[in-house]
Amino acid sequence: MRRFQSITVLAAVMMFISVNVTAQEQAEDIMKKSHLALFYAGDDGIAEVNMNIVNSKGNQRVREFTMLRLDQEEGGKQMYYTYFKKPSDVSRLTFMVHKMPDASDNRWLYVPSVDLVKRISADDKNSSFVGSDFTYEDVSGRHWSEDNHKLVREDKMGERTVYVIESVPKSAYKGFSRKVSYIDKESYLPLKEEYFDGKNELERVFTAEKIEDIQGIMTATLRKMENVKKGQYTTVEFANITYNAGVGEDVFTERFLKNPPRQFIK
């Protein structure tokens, strides 16, 4: 009898664990799909980007650049190329990243006024991207396997049904201690993300303000990152998006870092 009881308890525990594991797997699966939808759309992509940085006094700064992206592995290695147009002190500057999910990224900067190719140490992915509220990691994505995810509930955001997922970094992390994502059930795009700091206080909020269908791919074309604590925000608008444009790997080399490929960059 006693043995029977303990078997029942064991079975119940096992079931509980397996349900839990499935829930965790489901949450991780959603985060993976979301990561791919936001950062790996198509096999490559070109976009004109308009970035607006607004400080707590309401003063605006603008960054205009063209961005090329090539995915080498879905969810894995990627290459990015950025050609700056504005403001005038950074115009014609180019920036290239070879993103390595399991190692430090390789980054290059080319300063045309001195013809200088500089390699940049990329240890800190939490550095601001060109002085905005977005970090380098926000721009190229944090791999889903670095956090533990939990599906908290399903919810409504306006007309859309979302998964609400809570993510906690597996190892201590400076970027956030906890993140709550609201992921569109249909497109898997994150409609909103809340980043909590080390004191578990809300620090930054990401919102996808506008979603458009580009070549059959749902794309967040207007994104906003607000730093709630500092009272400042940055919006990023993507225009003239082309997916699967045939951007070759050779574009992401020093040759084209110094000579922007004009067939893609106007």
Partner 1 sequence: MRRLILFMPVLILTAAVFSSAVANEVNLGGFVQGLYGGGLDKNNPTPTELTASETRLQLKLESYSDAAEFFGRLDFTYDDYHEPSLDMELREGYTKFSLGRHLDFKIGRQIITWGTGDLIFINDMFAKDYQSFFSGRDDQYLKAPHNALRMSYYNRLGSFTFAYTPRFTPNRIPTGERLSYFSPMAGTIVGGEPYFEGIMPEAKFKNGEFAGRFGRYFGTTDVALYAYHGFFKNPMGMNDSGAYYPKLNVYGASVRFPIMGGIAWLEGGYYDSREDACGEKPAIPNSSFKSMIGFERQLGSNLTVNMQYQNDLMLDYDAYVAFMDPQMTPMDETYHLMTGRITQLLKMETITLSAFGFYSPNEEDFYGRFSVSYKYSDAVTLVAGANVFDGKYEYTAFGAFQKNDNAYIKITYGY
User: Which parts of this chain interact with partner 1 (CB under 8 A)?
Assistant: 53, 55, 59, 61-62, 86-89, 91-92, 104, 106, 113-117, 119-124, 126-128, 130-132, 232, 254-255, 259, 262-263, 266
Q: How far is the CB of 91 from partner 1 (least distance, A)?
A: 6
Measured from the CB atom, is 5 or 59 closer to partner 1? 59
Measured from the CB atom, is 210 or 255 closer to partner 1? 255
Residue 121 backbone phi and psi in degrees, to 5: -70, 130
Q: How far is the CB of 205 from partner 1 (least distance, A)?
A: 17
Measured from the CB atom, is 84 or 188 closer to partner 1? 84
Q: How far is the CB of 228 from partner 1 (least distance, A)?
A: 15
Residue 263 burial (CB count, 10 A): 10
Residue 11 burial (CB count, 10 A): 10
Q: How far is the CB of 122 from partner 1 (least distance, A)?
A: 8
Q: How far is the CB of 190 from partner 1 (least distance, A)?
A: 23
| Tokens standing for residue 141 | 């994505």
Sorted by sequence, the CB contacts under 8 Å of residue 7 that are 6+ apart come out as none
Measured from the CB atom, is 106 or 242 closer to partner 1? 106
DSSP letters for 164-183: EEEEEESS--SS-SEEEEEE
Give the angle subtended at the CA of 73 by the CAs of 37 and 239, to the nearest 5°. 45
Q: Which amino acid is at 80?
A: Y
Q: Are 80 and 47 in contact (CB under 8 A)?
A: no
Q: How far is the CB of 141 from partner 1 (least distance, A)?
A: 18
Residue 79 burial (CB count, 10 A): 20
Measured from the CB atom, is 148 or 263 closer to partner 1? 263
Residue 112 backbone phi and psi in degrees, to 5: -65, -30
Q: How far is the CB of 107 from partner 1 (least distance, A)?
A: 9
CA distance 61 to 21: 46
Measured from the CB atom, is 111 or 202 closer to partner 1? 111
Beta partners for 212? Answer: 219
Measured from the CB atom, is 134 or 144 closer to partner 1? 134
